[in-house]
């Protein structure tokens, strides 16, 4: 008697479903926290040596930003201080990435203010005494009280990678720790739970907002940094590796297909 080694009909269905799922995984990661895109697509906004294209902006003009070891050092003010980008920048359909760390102080250290079509918005990084993140503002409500509000534990003197994606339809922000060389800190691969948590830390957005029926704006304290700037509050913050790229038509179409609920 001979035995067929061909899989049954049900087994074929299972195999095909698994293959389809595997094909989808890279696309899902691209939509989430993938930072392995072609580096040639990114345009540096900071040369690591000078403040070319940037101006120092603050509420009180007694502090200055300086360049040291390839970083912009934003001095600690009693109020807000930071840098503003003065060259032309897109109003929509772009991504911007930068790295920041809190060195002294207890409040936000790498809050970015950015254009959203004809308005502006901010992603607050460690506000309200250091642990609140979110978009400010949405329909008049700031990051401490709208639907993007969350708590996140930032460690002092730890670098974090921020990535902000803006389209006509959506704002999405990722944030995760990186090492001194700017590389993702790998979790223990021998610990499945730790590895899964590490992947989620990188891939899951920290804020995600569909813009339908939403009005975005900024708080008064960061109007100094419009249209594009990065600021601190009563905190010394260090900034580096600031760059941006324009979204491709394919990416814009993918974003348009996303659900209105957060990713």
- pLDDT tens for the chain, 263 residues long, are 444 444 455 544 434 444 444 444 334 334 444 544 555 599 999 999 999 999 987 655 555 789 999 999 998 877 889 999 999 999 999 999 999 999 999 999 999 999 999 999 999 999 998 999 999 999 999 999 999 999 999 999 999 999 999 999 999 999 999 999 999 887 666 677 766 777 788 889 999 999 999 999 999 999 999 999 999 999 999 999 999 999 999 999 999 999 988 87
The upper half-sphere exposure of residue 245, i.e. CA atoms within 13 Å in the direction of its Cβ, equals 14
- Asked if residue 262 belongs to a domain, the reply is no
Residue that is written with structure tokens 């809050």 in the block: 111
Q: What is the pLDDT of residue 189?
A: 64
Give the domain extent around 50.
9-256
Residue 75 maps to a domain: yes
Q: Is residue 207 in some structural domain?
A: yes
Decide: helix, strand or coil at residue 213. Answer: coil
Q: What are phi and psi of 128, to 5 degrees?
A: 50, 60
pLDDT in the model for residue 58:
62
Q: Could you give the number of structural domains in the chain?
A: 1
Examine residue 128 and state whether it is found in any structural domain, yes or no. yes
Give the other-Cβ count within 10 Å of 260's Cβ: 11
Report how far residue 136's alpha carbon sits from residue 207's, in angstroms, rounded to the nearest whole number.
11
Tell me how far apart the alpha carbons of residues 161 and 242 are, in angstroms, rounded to a whole number: 10
Q: Answer whether residue 147 is part of any domain.
A: yes
Domain for residue 88, yes or no? yes
Q: How far apart are CA 181 and CA 63, in angstroms?
A: 28
pLDDT at 197 (0 to 100): 74
Q: Is residue 42 one of the residues assigned to a domain?
A: yes
- Residue 68 gets which letter from DSSP? E
* DSSP codes, 230-252: EEEESEEEEEEEEEEEEPPHHHH
Residue recorded with tokens 């401490």? 144
Of 205, 123, 139, 196, the C-alpha closest to 172 is 205
Domain harbouring 52, CATH code: 2.60.120.200
CA pair distance 233, 142, nearest whole angstrom: 16
Cα gap 128→145, rounded to integer Å:
11
Could you tell me if residue 4 is inside a domain?
A: no
Peptide bond preceding 246: is omega within 30 degrees of 0, i.e. cis? no
Rounded Cα gap, residues 172 and 163, in angstroms: 8
Predicted local confidence at residue 106, as pLDDT = 92
State the pTM of this model.
0.83
Estimate the share of the chain in helix, then strand, then coil, as percent rounded to the nearest 5: 20, 35, 45
């Amino acid at each position: 008697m001979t035995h067929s080694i061909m899989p049954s009909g049900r087994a074929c269905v299972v195999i095909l479903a698994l293959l389809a799922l595997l094909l989808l995984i890279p696309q899902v990661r691209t939509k989430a926290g993938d930072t392995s895109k072609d580096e040639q697509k990114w345009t540096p906004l900071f040369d690591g040596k000078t403040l070319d294209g940037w101006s120092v902006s603050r509420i009180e003009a007694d502090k200055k930003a300086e360049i040291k070891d390839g970083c912009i050092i934003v001095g600690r003010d009693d109020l807000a201080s930071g840098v503003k980008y003065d060259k032309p920048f897109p109003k929509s359909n772009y991504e911007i990435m930068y790295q920041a760390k809190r060195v002294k102080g207890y409040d936000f250290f790498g809050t970015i203010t950015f254009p959203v079509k004809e308005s502006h918005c901010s992603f607050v990084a460690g506000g309200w005494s250091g642990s609140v993140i979110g978009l400010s503002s949405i329909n008049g409500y700031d990051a401490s009280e709208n639907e993007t509000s969350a708590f996140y534990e930032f460690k002092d003197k730890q670098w974090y990678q921020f990535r902000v994606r803006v389209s006509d339809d959506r704002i999405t922000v990722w944030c995760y720790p990186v090492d001194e060389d700017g590389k993702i800190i790998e979790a223990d691969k021998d610990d499945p739970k730790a590895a899964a948590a590490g992947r989620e830390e990188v891939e899951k957005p920290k804020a995600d907002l569909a813009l339908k029926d939403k009005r975005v704006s900024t708080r008064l304290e960061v109007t100094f940094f419009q249209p594009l700037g990065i600021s601190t509050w009563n905190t010394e913050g260090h900034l580096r590796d600031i760059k941006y790229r324009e979204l491709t038509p394919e990416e814009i179409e993918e974003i348009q297909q996303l659900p209105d609920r957060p990713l």
